Amino acid sequence: MTSHPAPLSGIQVLDFSTVGPATRCARILADYGADVIKVGVPPKKLGLQTQPAFWSYSANRAMRQVRIDLKAPEGKAAFLKLAEKADVVIESFRPGVMKKLGLGYDELKALNPKLVYCSTSGFGQDGPASRHAGHDINYLATGGFLHTSNRRGDGGPPIPGATVADSAAGGMHAALSIFAALMRRHQTGEGEYLDVCVAEGVLWLTSLYVDQHLATGEEPGPGHDVLTGRYACYDTYRCSDGKWLSVGAIEGQFYANLCKALRCEQWLESQYDDDVQDSIRVDFAAAIETRTRDEWAAELAPANTCVAPVYSIQELVEDPQFVARGIFCEAEHPVHGKFRQLAPAFAGMDRPDGPIPVPDWTVTHTSELLAEVGLSAEEIDRMREEGIIG
C-alpha cells in the first residue's frame, strides 16, 4: 500500500442509503479515503430498510454506522449535530421525503453552509416522472440503453448482466458530482445541492446515439452501426467447448490480422460491406468453432486482433492479468472470517497489502459518533434505552 494521503482524507460523509446508486457512490468515496457514516434506523425499525448481505458493497469496509430514529425529536437533534460537522450528505429517498423530516437541503444548509448535499433519484427531483418508482432496468429502458442493445431470441431487449444504471449512471455520476462540488467549495467556501438523476446518467452513457439522432435525425437501434452489432468484426462467437469469444476488430489492421489468423482472407476487403456480413459471420463462426475458447484466446489476444474470452465470474477472479494487478484482496470479518473481495478498483485508490478488516454490521458506532459531536454518555444511554438510537 502506498503512503500518500488519500484524496478525500478528512472529508466526512453521512449516507442514508442501504442499496442502489447512492450506496455505490458512498463506496467510491470511502475507497478514496472519505469517512463515510451510514445512517440507518434503530433496531426496532430495521424491517423498514433493506439489509444487504454481509459481503455486499465490499462488506462496508472503511465505513461506520449510526442508527437513529429521525422522527423522534431527540434523534433528529442528534443527527443535526452530526450534520453540522459533515462535509457531504447523500440521500436516495423519493423527492420531498427529507424535507418532510425537516432534514432537507435548506434546513441543513442553515446549520452548515459548507455542506454538499447530494440527492440521488431515478428521474430527478422535479418533472412529471420525478415521483415514479424504478430500478436499474427502468432507467436503462428510458435512457435508450436497452433499445440500442442487440435483441434476445424473442425480439425483446436483453436484461443486462450488471446494474449499469446503478453503478455508472447513478453511483459514479453522484461521486463525480460530489468531487466537483468539493472542488468548487474549496474555491468559494460554500456548499451546494446536487440533484443526481440516474436516468439522465443513462443518457450520458448512450450519448453517442442520442447526439447522432439530434444532429442528423437518424434512428439508432440494435445493429445500426459497428458498436451495436451491424458488422461481423464486432460480435461474439461460440467455440468448440461451448464457451464464447468476443471480437472487437474495428480498425482495419486488427480486422486484417483476424482474417488471416482465422484463414478467412477472402473477406479482407469486405469489413464494412453490408451485403456480405452474414457470409463473413458464417465463416468466422465456422473457424472459431474448431478450437476451444482458451486456445483461441491464447493465440489471438496477443496478436493484435482485439479478441478476448467471455469469462464467467468464477473464471475472471482467477484471471492472471487481474491477479497480477492485485485487483482482488482478502477481507476479514469478525463473524464470517476471511474471504476474498474486489479491492479498491479505481485509479488513485490504494490497494491493500494484507487483509482488510470489515465491520460486523450488527454492531453500530452510534455511541462513538454521538460522543464525537458532544452528547454525554448519560444522554446516549438514555436514548438507547428509549429505542431512539441503536
Give the residue numbers annotated as catalytic, written as ranges. 135, 166
Residue with cell 472487437: 248
∠ CA 207-213-219, nearest 5°, is 115
Neighbouring C-alpha atoms within 13 Å toward the C-beta of 19 = 11
DSSP β-bridge partners for residue 89: 14, 117
Rounded to 10 degrees, what is the CA torsion of 270, 271, 274, 276? 50
Residues 335 and 358 sit within 8 Å (Cβ to Cβ) = no
Residues 193 and 119 sit within 8 Å (Cβ to Cβ) = yes
Q: Which residues contact 293 (CB under 8 A, 6 or more apart)?
A: 239, 241, 243, 244, 245, 309, 310
How many Å apart are CA 79 and CA 387, to the nearest integer?
15
- Residue 246: other Cβ atoms inside 10 A: 16
Residues 232 and 281 sit within 8 Å (Cβ to Cβ) = yes
